[in-house]
Amino acid sequence: QAPALLQDPTATKEKQKNVTRQMTEFIQNIQNAIERTLLLFIIFFVGGGALLIGSAVHVAITSRHLEMNIMKLVGASVSRITNPFVIEGVLLSLIAFSLHLLLLTILPIEMKNSKLYLNALLFEFAATVALGAISSYITTIFHINRKII
């Protein structure tokens, strides 16, 4: 009905503007809903990624907890203890990003050569590495502050 009204020469300009405004509002509402949904997905996947990396580092820490306790007893600095685990978290992140790139090369995406696509990949790379480093550091600090068993 709306396109016919927009093309109807007998319709007043005011009616045409009103229909155009309603259509614009409808499209903006859809866009806002999509943006909110994407934000929820991003939060969900970032949280899940942090938990996965934290869990992997937790397993590494658990298997080497005696080493950590000995390092604490001989007076090693916190950074000396956390660095290997942070590096491990960053390496896990880089492996995940590499698998992501491999998947993207397989999928047919039209925008592969666009500047927006490349900027998004750079942002993803930086966010992935930061997420790996931060979640590894937090997990390691949590275990360092626990009592020596």
| pLDDT tens per residue, range 68-126 | 888 888 988 888 888 988 998 899 899 988 888 888 778 776 666 777 778 888 888 89
Across the chain, what does the average pLDDT equal?
83
Phi/psi zone of residue 111: left (φ > 0), alpha (ψ -120 to 50 degrees), beta?
A: alpha
Q: Which has the minimum average pLDDT: 19-23, 111-115, 135-139? A: 111-115
Q: For residue 94, what is the enclosing H or E element?
A: helix 78-106
Q: From the DSSP assignment, how many helices (H) and strands (E) are in the chain? A: 5, 0
pLDDT class of 30 with cuts at 50, 70, 90: very high
Secondary structure of residue 138 in the 3-state scheme: helix
Query: Cα separation of 38 and 79, whole Å?
Result: 36
User: With pLDDT > 70 as the criterion, what percentage of the chain qualifies?
Assistant: 87
Secondary structure of residue 74 in the 3-state scheme: coil
Query: Cα separation of 100 and 94, whole Å?
Result: 10
| Per-residue pLDDT, 124 | 86
Any idea what the Cα angle at residue 126 is, between residues 76 and 133, rounded to 5°? 20
Answer with the residue of higher pLDDT: 52 or 8.
52
